[in-house]
Amino acid sequence: MKLSLLLILAALAATVGRAQAAAPDPEATLRYIHAAWDTLTRSDTDCSSVADVKVAEVSVIYLPAEIATPPNVAALEHKCKVEVKHLPRKIEKLADVRPEELGAPGLLYLPNLYVVPGGRFNEMYGWDSYFILLGVEADHHEALAKGIVDNFLFEVEHYGAVLNANRTYYLTRSQPPFLTSMILMVYEDPASFAMTPAGRTEERDWLEHAYTVAEKDYSTWTRPEHRAGETGLARYFDYGVGPVPEMADDSTYYSDVIRALVEHPSAEAAGFLVKGPEHPDAVEAARLKQTSCDVRASVVCMRAWFGGYRLSRDFYEGDRAMRESGFDTSNRFGPFSGATEHYAPVCLNSLLYRYERDLAHMAHLLGKPQDARMWDRRANARGAAIQRYLWQPKEGVFADYDFVRRRPSSYAFIASLYPLWAGVATREEANLMEAKLGVFERPGGLSTSNTNTGLQWDEPYGWAPTNWIAVAGLDAMGFHADAARIAKHFDATVDAGFAADGTIREKYNVATGSAQVTVSAGYTQNVIGFGWTNAVYLKFREIAERPAP
> Following DSSP, what letter does each residue of 478-498 receive, concatenated?
T-HHHHHHHHHHHHHHHHHHH
Q: What three-state secondary structure class fits 43? A: coil
Instruction: Report the 10 Å Cβ neighbour count for 369.
Output: 10
Question: Buried b / exposed e across 334-359, counting CB within 10 Å, b at 16+?
Answer: bbbbbbbbbbbbbbbbbbbbbbbbbb
The helix (H) or strand (E) run that includes residue 60 is: strand 60-63
Query: In the predicted model, is pLDDT for residue 388 greater than 90?
Result: yes
Q: Could you tell me the pTM of the whole model?
A: 0.94
| 62 contacts 107 by C-beta, under 8 angstroms | yes
pLDDT of residue 57: 67
Give residue 142's pLDDT.
98
Exposure class string for 293-314: b at 16+ Cβ within 10 A, else e: bbbeebebbbbbbbeebbbbbb
Closest CA to 115 of 168, 62, 36: 36
Pairing of strands 60-63, 83-86: parallel
Q: Is the pLDDT of residue 167 over 50?
A: yes
Active-site annotation holds for 501: no
9-23, 41-55, 93-107, 496-510: segment of lowest average pLDDT: 9-23
- pLDDT at residue 11 greater than cutoff 70: no
Cβ atoms of 258 and 305 closer than 8 Å: yes
- The mean pLDDT value of the chain amounts to 94
Residue 104 scores a pLDDT above 80: yes
Contact criterion met (CB below 8 Å) for 259 and 307 = yes
Q: Are 401 and 343 in contact (CB under 8 A)?
A: yes
Mean pLDDT of 9-23: 45
Q: What is the mean predicted confidence (pLDDT) over 218-234? A: 98
Question: Where residue 222 falls among pLDDT bands split at 50, 70, 90?
Answer: very high
Q: One of 238, 317, 328, 495 is an active-site residue; which one?
A: 328
Please, are residues 355 and 383 in contact by the beta-carbon 8 Å criterion?
no
CA 102 remoteness from chain centre: 25
96 is catalytic: no
| pLDDT winner (highest mean) among 48-62, 348-362, 510-524 | 348-362
pLDDT digits (tens, 9 = 90+) for 110-145: 999 999 999 999 999 999 999 999 999 999 999 999
In percent, the amount of the chain with pLDDT more than 70 equals 96
Is the pLDDT reported for residue 166 higher than 60? yes
Report the C-alpha gap between 124 and 128 in whole angstroms: 8
Separation of first and last alpha carbons in the chain: 63
Catalytic residue of the set 44, 341, 458, 506: 506
Give tens-digit pLDDT for 447-467: 999 999 999 999 999 999 999
Span 133-162, average pLDDT:
98
Q: How much is the average pLDDT of 500-528?
A: 92
DSSP strand pairing (441-442 vs 407-408)? unpaired
